Structure 1
Amino acid sequence: MKAISQHTFRYLLRPGAGWALLACVFVLTSLGLIMLTSAGQSYNQSIDADPFYLFRKQGMWLGIALFAGIFTSLINLEWLGKMSHYILGVVLILLGVVLVPQIGVEVNGARRWLDLGLMRLQVSDLAKIALIIWLAQYYGSRQRKVTHWFHGFIAPGMVVGLICGMIFLEPDFGTAALCGAVGFWVMFLAGVRLWFLLPSALMGVAGFSVAVYMDPVRMRRITSFLDVEANKADSGYQLWQGILAFGAGGVPGVGLGQGRQQLFFLPEAHTDFIFPVIGEELGLTATAAVVLLFATIFGVGVIALRRAPNLFHFLLATGALLFLTLQALINMGVVTGLLPTKGMSLPFISYGGTNLVTMFVLIGLIFNCFANWSAKPLLKPREL
């Protein structure tokens, strides 16, 4: 079996959903580089810091991300499915290795990274890719057993639970919850009975709530989210500064590079809270455009899903689409005060190498599916 598919090359010659997808990614990535250049003036809390440091670092990662995305868009999906067990196994090993104190890099009390010398690898991002590939292949090759209690629910549920549990131990509650949510929807869309899924989902939510309650730091985030103004000098400081940034920008914005909240006021302005920087400097028009671009990616993907020739392709594209858009939705919900504060990058825009590569791999998978679907006849509905 060939590891490289030829459909992508032919698909690139025709306008359609794929080009709309790439256009959205191009605009979001370009905006990210522009805003990182602006945010770079306050990076490292020093006015003498190189303002192009973040731009150069992100540009280096963008080169890697482009290579990964192009490679993923060209890979033979059937071959990828056959490799899903090996991919999952490697990621599970890495998730275990990152928890070892002498190996995993700890930052702010969380051990989530592996130090590779020139770069740090956040393994939980790789787990997103491995999870959707494995689930898509598992259900795609067992369509007759999807409604079975063990084969359809218990076995894949244990894999989803294992990945979420290992990420939870880092600890990274947000990514664990995101993987659990995407896993739930992929299993539901695969055809797993809802009365199998709902009790486990409720138990997961209950366990997650207890863990948050037992963690003083995360409980302070919840309380500050419920009353931001009362906690603006303490646990709600970051969110309050983000809200001030949106208010200062208004509709037109204060101008590119003219923002003030990022100058020592707004923590993590170049990573999780880059959306408020966009709101302050470029205004409501730019923030609305960002929301519209992510909505377009989701809409284009959902419309194209009807062309999926089999369950494996359908679940693979769906999982990639859910990871990308849900992460964007959570980030924008957090920085606008609609969700409790949780560190999660805004896809294609926030500073962060592993996440940028992961997002391009997800887009590559979606684009690869589009290319394959355009080359295959549509499945005809079964006559009743």
Structure 2
Amino acid sequence: MSKKKRIIIIGGGAAGFFTAANLDEEKFYVTILEQNSDVLQKVKISGGGRCNVTHACFDPRELTQFYPRGNRELLSVFTKFQPGDTMDWFESRNVPLKIEKDNRIFPESDSSQSIMNALINEVRNKNFEVKNQVSVTEIIKENETYLIKTKQGDFIADIVIYTTGSSPKSLKIIENLGHKIVEQVPSLFTFNIKNNLLKDLPGTSFENAEIRIPSLKTEESGPLLITHWGLSGPAVLKISAWEARTLAKLKYQFEIEVNFISKPISDAEEELKEFKNQNPKRSIGQSKIFDVTNRFWSKILEINQINPEKQIANLSGKEMALILENLCQKKLLVTGKSTFKDEFVTAGGVDLKEVNFKNMSSKILPDFYISGEVLDIDAVTGGFNFQACWSEAWLISQHLNAL
């Protein structure tokens, strides 16, 4: 029997742990090096501490549509391991999962600890080593092995698996080994907007809204939320992800047009006229015509100086036009972005042309594998970033186990 090879996994997050959890302990000595004091930190805080493990989308072609970067490369990856496989993997390790109505998948326990325990126990049962607070400073290729230099001493590896996440320091280390790095820009951010329509309304939400960026001829729809800073919610996050690079070039200064009720203005006009004909004596302030909160409706009337006591029959054509424009075609100026530090996602990372997506090996370095957020791959919210990690990690472990 050939002697066991030494694998060093750099990064104790989702991709690193899932790779280790699926490696053959008969063939390999595995050590995970994690620079923080705790492993699996993103898993822990994801989904508000419930861990949004993956998404109920079981068709690989459909699944790739949620990845602004990496969609082409991930198609073959997802044909080998997709969300159904992720569910089987955790459920067969006594972590029952549930699909919520928006198709996000969580552990039934509603605690990310269940997911963390499954991964940690699997790695522990294989007697693999996990070293916390070990910060890699440099990797040097030496003949058949890699020398991994850290502030806590050096390690020697026959095989390196690089799953560090997207920190600039880790990208610098892999760039020094000869890999090309695509510049990082934020993805998944909220829009900073100062506008009277949004003032004093944080927490107000819209079940389905449409957002357009006219200058980029792009639009997205979905739930929308008014925040202290401007607008957030899936509709905003999706458009920020798809246009991450362009919006960075615009320095986050651009105009958007919002349709708060997702209805063409002509349809909304019909509804308003019909309501007016049927309820002529009702005051405009008390009229529940569209699916928006009373506070938002009052705010539209207030900023357009329409007296809420006015009978709806007495609304002028101009006043009707103002109401409809605010509901269906509201132009707002975005003057910046806000990102959530904890669940921060970036576009950018290791250039995908330099990775073999059959097994996630580097095309530049022998016996070197790359997966997770360190790659120039990112997704919209909903469990998709984790799914890419699980699938890529699975390919690495199966490829190495078969060597």
- The two structures have a TM-score, normalised by structure 2, of 0.23
TM-score, scaled to structure 1: 0.24
Q: Which structure would you say has the larger Rg?
A: 2
Structure 1 or 2: more strand by fraction: 2
Higher helix share: 1
